[in-house]
Amino acid sequence: QGFVWWPDGARRLHVRALAGDKDSSFATSVSLDMEIRDMELHEHGDAPCPWCGSPAPMVPEPLSRGPMSLLRCGTCGFGWPAPVPTHDSLRAIYEVQYWDQAPPEQTSPADCGDTDFLIRKFEPYSNGGKRILEVGCGQGALLQGLHSRGFDVTGVDIAKNAAPNIEERLGVTVHRQPMHTVELAAPVDVVIARHVVEHALTPVEDLKWMRRQLNPGGIIMMVVPNTASAAASLFGASWE
């Protein structure tokens, strides 16, 4: 995938996904709006930290991907990509990215990544309830894994093609819209947000919204990258 210029002057993200051999492929082009097309020229400037609000200068990390780089707050250590795209731009990025991931139908419910690991981590602190909300559910692998283990799950993702067909296959509800516009049918016992907050435009408000969705005794489980981890130190600028 890569940026290509079209005759009309618009830049689009062109994606080609190969399946099996070069004769069986799928290609599409996704129009990206002005905010994302101008990201390479946009500077973060003196905006305060989106987590703690500190006006202290941001510290650049030796990490980058395409036009994006990583900044770290010198006060609280929170890191986020810069420049920061808009909600619509984020949706466009994720809708393209999800083409690169295997659909849930090709994944065994017994092998859905870190499902059992996450359950072991949150169960000791939970209220014992079975209702779980995953924010940023992606292709729905964790939703499928939790559902197969008896949990009542719901997903939220800004991408319109997130967790395709999971409603028909499993009866799982997925809200494909910004979380702040979602009204759940009932409160939940656990909110899981894996690698979400570091991409958020308004992380503090997002966390407050998650908290409002909880039953008494409910918990929020967040998974975030750690720039001080052994993996970050080992891989350096190529760490993701």
pLDDT tens readout for residues 150-169: 999 999 998 887 887 888 88
Token pair, residue 49, equals 């930290």
Kindly state the average pLDDT of the residues 121-132.
Answer: 95
| CB 58, CB 69: distance < 8 Å | no
pLDDT: is 188 or 65 the higher one? Answer: 188
Beta strands in 66-187 (DSSP E): 68-73, 79-82, 131-135, 152-157, 173-176
Q: Which of 220, 186, 228, 227 has its CA nearest to residue 203?
A: 220
77 token code pair: 């250590």
pLDDT at 85 over 80: no
pLDDT of residue 216: 96
Yes or no: say if 132 and 155 are a contact pair by the CB < 8 Å rule: no
pLDDT value of position 104: 47
Instruction: Report the pLDDT value the prediction gives residue 34, as an integer from 0 to 100.
Output: 37
Give the whole-number percent of the chain exceeding pLDDT 70. 63
Q: How confident is the model at residue 86 (pLDDT cuts 50, 70, 90)?
A: low
Angle between helix 115-122 and 141-148 (nearest 10): 70
226 or 90, higher pLDDT: 226
Higher pLDDT, 174 or 59: 174
- Upstream peptide bond of 103 is cis (omega within 30 degrees of 0): no
- Rounded Cα gap, residues 99 and 90, in angstroms: 15
Of residues 91 and 30, the one with the higher pLDDT is 91
pLDDT at position 22 is 42
Q: Are 237 and 162 within 8 A, CB to CB?
A: no
Eight-class DSSP state of 238: G
Q: Which amino acid is at 108?
A: S
